[in-house]
Amino acid sequence: MKKQKTKSKRSKTGAAKRKTAARKPAARVSNKRAVQASAAGTNPARVRAILQKLDEAYPEVTCALDHENPFQLLISTILSAQCTDVRVNQVTKTLYVKYPTPKDFAYADPSELEQDIRPTGFFRNKTKSIMGAGKKILEEFKGEVPRTMEQLLTLPGVARKTANVVLGTAFGIASGVVVDTHVIRLSGRLDLSRNTDPKKIEQDLVKVIPQEKWILFSHQLIWHGRKVCQARKPRCIECNLERLCYAKDKTV
C-alpha cells in the first residue's frame, strides 16, 4: 500500500515535471513573439538614420489639405477619409465659400450639404459628422476648435488621426503621430512597428521618434508613401531609404 502511494506520488511528480518542461518552450516562443512585436528595426541608430534621410528628402513638408483656419482643416480632414486630398481640395474650394463658419455647417440643410460634399464619398455619414462637429464647437467650445486631444475626440467623426492632424498642423501641438493608410504601410515596411492596429502603431512610433519630430515625421511619412513608397509598387530604386529598408516587398 505504502509502495503504491509512493509510485503514484512519483508518477504525479513526473507528470508535473513533464508539464513544466512542456511549458518552457512555449514561454520562450511567447517571449520571442513579444520581442518581435516591438520591431527589431527600432534601434536608435537606425531610427536616427531614417529620420535624417526623411529630412533630406522632405525638409519642409506639411499637410496637403488646403485650409485657412483650424476649423477648415478639421472639416477637410473629416472629408479626407477614404478620399484623396486632391479631391477634397477640389470640393472645399467652393464649400468654404458657401459655408464659412461652424454655424453655417451646424445649421445647413443636410440634403444640400450631402450633395455639396458628395464627390468625397461616404457623404451621408460625413454630413452627419461635420454638422455634428459644427454644432458641438458652437455650443460647447464657443465657436473655436478645441486644442486638446481629449476635447477633440468628443467631436463627431473625429478619431485620433484627425485630432493629431488638427493639433499638429493647425496649432503646432505634438500630441502624437498621425497614423493614416500611408503611415500604417510605411511603419511596417520600415520595421518601425509590427502592429496593424493604428492605435498600437502610434504607441510604437511615439516610443522611438523624438516628440519634437512627431509633427514633421507624420507629414514626411505620408509624402513618402504618396510619392515613392506606394502601396502596390514601391519605387525602391528612387528611394533614399533603400539601404536602410529590408521590406519583404522591396522592388530592388
135 is catalytic: no
**C-alpha dist (Å) from residue 47 to 26, 74, 131, 186, 248:** 31, 30, 41, 13, 19
**196-207 per-residue burial string, b: 16 or more CB within 10 A, e: under 16:** eebeebbebbbe
Determine which one of 3, 180, 197, 248 is catalytic: 180
Shortest Cβ 229–ligand SF4 spacing (Å): 3
180 is catalytic: yes
Shortest Cβ 47–ligand SF4 spacing (Å): 14
Cell readout for 154 is 468628443
Shortest Cβ 176–ligand SF4 spacing (Å): 22
Report the greatest alpha carbon distance in the chain.
96
Cβ count near 47 (within 10 Å): 19
Determine which one of 53, 126, 136, 161 is catalytic: 161
Measured torsion, CA atoms of residues 170, 239, 234, 76, in degrees rounded to the nearest 10: 10
Shortest Cβ 240–ligand SF4 spacing (Å): 8
What sign has the CA pseudo-torsion 159, 51, 246, 33? negative
Is there a contact between 204 and 20 (Cβ–Cβ < 8 Å)? no
Q: Which stretches of the chain bind ligand SF4, using CB under 6 A?
A: 189-190, 228-229, 234-236, 239, 241-242, 245, 247, 250
Shortest Cβ 32–ligand SF4 spacing (Å): 25
Alpha helices in the chain (DSSP H): 2-37, 44-57, 70-79, 85-98, 102-106, 110-117, 123-140, 149-152, 160-165, 171, 181-189, 198-208, 214-227
As annotated, the active-site residues are: 161, 180
